[in-house]
Every structure is written in C-alpha cells, then in structure tokens.
Amino acid sequence: MTDHRLAPDVEETAAAIASMEIRGAATIAAGAAEALATQAREADAESPEAFRASMRAAARRLRETRPTAVSLPNALRYVLRRMEGRSVEALRESVTDAVAAFVAQLDRAQEDLGQVGANRLADGDTVMTHCHSTDALACIEAAVDQGKHIEAIVKETRPRNQGHITARQLREAGVPVTLVVDSAARRYLNEADHVLVGADSIAADGGVINKIGTSGLAVNARERGVPIMTAAQTIKLHPETLTGHTVEIEMRAEDEVIAPETREEIGEIAVENPAFDVTPPRYMDAIVTEHGQFPPESIVTLMRELFGEGAAEPWAEP
C-alpha cells in the first residue's frame, strides 16, 4: 500500500455506511473510528507526513458517506486531533489508542445515559419509539434491568422499516411489542406514557435532528400530552451550529420510496425522500445525555463546554 492508498476496510466501511448496512449515528461513529484504526495499522507510509496525509484521506472518504449524523465528523475529529508523534510508529500508536478510547467512551456514554433515561420511565409504562436508536434502546433496557415492566409501541418507520430492528431488539430484552404503521402513531399515543427517540444531531438551539417523522410525532405527542424525550450521547452535539450553520438533511434515493416498476405504472410524478427532519426545541421535553438530562434550550451550555474549540476539519488538505 502506498502513502495515500486507502485500506480496503476504509472503502468497505464507507460503502456500508452509504448503503446503510452500518447505520444509526452511534454505530456509524464507531464504524468510522474503527476504519481509521485499520488505516493506521495498514498504512505503509515512509514518512510521518505521508502517514498523516493517508489518515486525512481515509477520514475524507468516510466523511463524504452521509451528511446528517454529526457523530461521524465528531468521531473523525476526535481521532485525528489525538494523532501525534515524530515517527510513523508513534503516529500509528496514537491513532489506534485514540480509536480504542473513543469506542470505550461511546459504550460508557450509552450505558450512563441509559440510566438517566430509565429513571424517567416508571414501572408499567408504555413507550412509543420511532426508527432504531441504540441510545433510546439503552434507556428501555436499563429500565428493564431496574426491574420495571415496560411495553413498547414501535413505529414501523417507512421507508426503511428500522422499526423492525427495534421490535426485534426489544423482544430480545423481554419487552412486549406492538408494531404499528407510521400513520397510526397519533391513535396509539392514547396508550403511550412516553415517546422516546434518538438523534443524529442536536443543534445549538436545542433542535433535534432525527429520522423523518420525528417532528410530526413530537407535535402529536404534545397535543396528546405525552412527554417526548430524545436519548443522545454528546457525540451527537453539532459544533458547527454554534456558529449559525444549519444541519444538512440527507436526501436519499427515490427507489427507497417506490419501486421503479410501480412508479412506471403511475406515470410522471416527482418523488422525494428526505431521511431526517428537525424537531423544534419547544416540542421536546428533555434531551437525555451521559451528563444527565437537559431541557433542549439549555443544551447549548453543554455544547460550548464540550465542543467550544470549534468545528475544524483536521482531514482537510493542508
């Protein structure tokens, strides 16, 4: 492998993130960090500068896969900022150490926020979920571990049906599950004590960017008086929004919505497939993180504390 060549694992991970074989913000972050560790191990760079350049190239390839989950650039930033040393060996070690620390931190954060989220759930509660979020599931699983009986109403989550993954995982945790189509959500809010979702990004104003449909669910939950929380470890805080940038919403392929043959039969129509939406802070009751729970409007203080150094792009060509 020459200096700038990407390790096959980087290409494979990038393709898997783009195709959503690796999906969900936390899982994407872990996958990208681990691909950087492979790049570090396999780079046969002859000089420290060549090694650094190959790591930046790998990070750029991973960065371009999906635009919305900020956990991805935050993961790349975490690792590249800790890359240090005067020799290739020292640099290599600093990267693999940083990746190990990052992944351990992700796991710990999810466990810690799970406890916080679980404390909001009472024995006998029914929770409505949307999409598949490992942070959200950590809250339900922790509540079950605390001995609480929890039931779930799981939204299917068109077009990719991530609700099926949630349903399976909750069943495995011993939680009785009722699966509903997305448009049945308002009806079943009558039976829910909480709505619990994850996040791909949290903006400085407390806006929650999550799977498309979250904002409509939040508005309906407010109308029905059902509290809604988002479980999001701090790797989901979006540093660029501190300086007024907005979060890019990924538009995905039209054939996720309608099969080409069916579309052909219908005739000339436009199809749009935004993958995420923004829930304004006023419709969200709490953001649950590994540092405790926050009203959405106050999340900016945590963001400044943890990401105040800005959103530099250490993967850019110097």
List contacts with ligand RUB (CB under 6 A): 20, 23-27, 69, 131, 133-136, 162, 198-200, 210-211, 275
Q: Establish whether 211 is an annotated binding residue.
A: yes
Closer residue to ligand RUB, CB minimum distance, 27 or 178: 27
**Euclidean distance between CA atoms 34 and 209, whole angstroms:** 25
- Minimum CB separation from ligand RUB for residue 230, in Å? 9
Which CB atom, from 198 or from 239, has the smaller least distance to ligand RUB?
Answer: 198
CB of 3 to ligand RUB, least distance (A): 32
Judged by CB, which is closer to ligand RUB: 58, or 209?
Answer: 209
Matching residue, tokens 């007024």: 244
Nearer to ligand RUB, 211 or 238 (CB): 211
Taken in order 108, 165, 194, 298, the sign of the CA dihedral is positive
Distance CA(217)–CA(223), nearest Å, equals: 10
Q: Confirm or deny that 66 is annotated as ligand binding.
A: yes
Minimum distance, C-beta of residue 275 to ligand RUB, in the bound complex (Å): 5
Helix crossing, 25-42 with 48-63: angle to 10°? 150
The answer to the question of whether 210 is labelled as a binding residue is: yes
H helix runs in 5-133, sequence order: 8-18, 25-42, 48-63, 71-81, 88-119
23 is known to lie in a ligand binding site: yes
Distance separating alpha carbons of residues 310 and 162, to the nearest angstrom = 33
Strand bridging mode 276-279 / 292-294: unpaired
* Gyration radius of the chain's alpha carbons: 20
> In terms of CB distance, is 45 or 70 closer to ligand RUB?
70
User: What does the block give as tokens for 191?
Assistant: 């039976």
Quickly count: other Cβ atoms within 10 Å of residue 87's Cβ.
11
Catalytic residues: 131, 200
201-202/126-129 β-pairing? unpaired
Q: Count of residues for the chain?
A: 318
Structure tokens at 43: 């780079």
Q: Which residues are annotated as a binding site?
A: 23-26, 66, 210-211, 236
Annotated binding site for substrate, which residues? 23-26, 66, 210-211, 236
